[in-house]
Amino acid sequence: MKDEKTLAFINFYAILGALSELCRLDKGAAALIADKRISVGISVKDGPCGTLLFEKGECRVLQGVGSVNIRLPFSSCAKFNGMIDGTVTPIPSKGFTKISFLTKQFTMLTDMLTRYLRPREEDLADPDFFRISTYLTFYVVSEAISQIGNHDAIGKASASYIVDGTAKLAIGEELGAAVVAKDHCLTTVHAMPDRFFSYMIFEDLALANDLFAGRVNSVACVGMGRIRIGGMISQVDNINRILDRVSLYLA
């Protein structure tokens, strides 16, 4: 079963966090906020607390909620998750005069993100769309690993066996991320690490996309050499156990 708190952290840091990559990769997304400078603070009771800063065509995720233009408080993780799945309408505690940003540009950005993360087959036929969709999914998946390892009961059990150090996740030499373990707490760094204890490398974008969509079996791909793993195998093995939980939360 899904844990609401874990899902809230995934929804903020992995899903909404992917807006930063969306604005970097898609010129249309960047154009929507090209002339904006607006901050949206999200505070969830017993859950994530952070700020989305939209400025000059870019989006950044900041820790905490300080002096923001729009503040969205949520009384529970379930209420915040409801906003993400469209069943709850948030009520700002600050920024009513700027609410048009939420109903227009912000909604357009999240709709674009959803299209990339839940693509139609005909959309994937476009090479540029395919690349961006895979990049964004990789961002979400790699971030979700850390959130599940830190908050989900089963994920935390796996994280408790991960020794301190960095594990490299990569798609060939094209795209990479680091899952950094420190005192059994995981942090995802969205950049190719130079140094690492272990690695899991997908052959190419096509394979990564098939894996994320559940069209191929990861164990079979390891056997065929299409997924390469090495280094401290126990580290990769426990991260892979957490990865198995990702599809549950992102379904």
Question: What confidence tens digit (pLDDT) does each residue in 74-84 have?
Answer: 999 999 999 99
Pick the CATH number of 128-134+144-250 from 3.30.1050.10, 1.25.40.80, 1.20.1530.20, 3.40.630.40: 3.30.1050.10
Which pLDDT belongs to residue 47? 97
Name the CATH topology of 4-118.
Nonspecific Lipid-transfer Protein; Chain A (3.30.1050)
Which pLDDT belongs to residue 218? 85
Which pLDDT belongs to residue 217? 85
Amino acid symbol at 82: G
Q: Do 4-118 and 128-134+144-250 agree at the fold level?
A: yes
Stated pTM of the model: 0.95
Task: Please report which confidence band the pLDDT of residue 52 belongs to, taking 50, 70 and 90 as the band edges.
Answer: very high
Hey, where are the domains in the chain? 4-118, 128-134+144-250
Tokens linked to 28 = 């249309």
Question: Which residues in 117-147 are b (16+ Cβ under 10 Å) and which e?
Answer: bebeeeeeeeeebbebbbbbbbbbbbbbbbb
Task: Please report which confidence band the pLDDT of residue 63 belongs to, taking 50, 70 and 90 as the band edges.
Answer: very high
